[in-house]
């Protein structure tokens, strides 16, 4: 019982840290809604985080924030997939030019996980960060974009996995006809949108990112819904979003080829004497 209780305490602390990371300032009510933890438990955890120098109550009464020391939790983690290294500067350039934040999501078991975002480079966001957020494959734009552009056999496997989820956002996966319509629509349009009933204060469109013929990620643009309707956002920003995804795909292919052949040794195709550098 003692071991079980200890593990649960760690889980709660991690949930709370993730919730605090999503916005600059969080009220006790915000943290309660996002974590589902009882408010007395949240207060005790906040006191512990304060004692360790990871969080503090801000000068605005009743709100809490993370402190710089929280970065020490990631100081020993250095591995990132090549696509993240490739994508970040390209994404930042887009956000500095257009204003709206981008998020790059990678597939993980039964959801898309945000691995890079440009929220820190704009004030036009309702969140402090979306990093590490898990997004439904069937209700969220990045998940739909990735699913629709995956090979049919992978689509089938992913949908079977998602069907077992207890998350209400994954419920549509059980409707085979609805999924087929959604996949066809996304492929025809070239972009995916979020279920409009989810988080109506903001909206997202997403497109796939490829490495060669294979879809490896999805790139989403999120804006404040009150700022512009969906069609206006598509007209103004979809071309730039597609161009950004294409730039990431090209650079990823180039870096991957260089990694396979770092000394740029000529690779022969069909006829000797006709080298093709890759």
Question: Phi/psi of residue 85, each to 5°?
Answer: -60, -40
Average of per-residue pLDDT across 182-191: 97
What domains, with CATH codes, occur in the chain?
2-74 (1.10.10.10), 82-260 (3.30.450.40)
Average of per-residue pLDDT across 124-139: 92
Q: What is the structure's pLDDT at 57? A: 87
DSSP state of 120: G
Chain segment 212-240, per-residue pLDDT in tens: 889 999 999 999 999 999 999 999 999 99
Token reading at 198: 């989810």
Stronger pLDDT, 161 or 78, i.e. the higher one: 161
Q: What is the structure's pLDDT at 76? A: 57
Our measurement of the distance from residue 271's CA atom to the centroid of its chain's CA atoms, rounded to an integer in Å, reads: 44
First to last CA, the chain: 59
pLDDT at 265 over 60: no
- The whole model's pTM is what? 0.69
Look at 205-214, 230-239, 255-264 and tell me which has the smallest mean pLDDT: 255-264
Average of per-residue pLDDT across 244-248: 97
Chain segment 58-112, per-residue pLDDT in tens: 766 678 988 888 877 766 554 568 899 899 999 999 999 999 999 999 999 899 9
């Amino acid at each position: 019982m003692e071991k079980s209780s200890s593990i649960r305490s760690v889980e709660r602390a991690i949930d709370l840290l993730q919730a605090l990371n999503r916005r600059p300032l969080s009220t006790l009510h915000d943290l309660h809604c996002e974590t589902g933890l009882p408010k007395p438990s949240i207060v005790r955890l906040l006191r512990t985080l304060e004692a360790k120098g990871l969080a503090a109550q801000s000068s605005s009464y009743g709100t809490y924030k993370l402190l710089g020391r929280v970065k020490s939790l990631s100081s020993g983690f250095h591995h990132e997939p090549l696509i993240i290294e490739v994508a970040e500067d390209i994404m930042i350039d887009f956000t500095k030019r257009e204003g709206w934040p981008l998020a790059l999501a990678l597939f993980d078991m039964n959801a898309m996980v945000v691995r890079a975002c440009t929220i820190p480079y704009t004030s036009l966001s309702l969140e402090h960060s979306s990093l590490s957020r898990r997004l439904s494959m069937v209700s969220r734009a990045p998940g739909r974009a990735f699913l629709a552009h995956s090979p049919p056999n992978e689509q089938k496997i992913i949908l079977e996995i998602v069907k077992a989820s207890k998350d209400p956002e994954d419920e549509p996966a059980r409707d085979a006809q609805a999924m087929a319509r959604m996949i066809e629509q996304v492929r025809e349009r070239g972009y995916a949108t979020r279920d409009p009933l989810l988080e109506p204060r903001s909206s997202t469109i997403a497109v796939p990112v490829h490495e060669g013929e294979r879809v490896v990620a999805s790139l989403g643009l999120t804006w404040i819904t009150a700022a512009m309707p969906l069609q206006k956002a598509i007209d103004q920003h979809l071309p730039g979003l597609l161009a950004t995804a294409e730039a990431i795909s090209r650079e990823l292919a180039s870096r991957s080829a260089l990694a396979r052949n770092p000394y740029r040794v000529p690779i022969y195709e069909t006829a000797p004497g006709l080298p093709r550098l890759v």
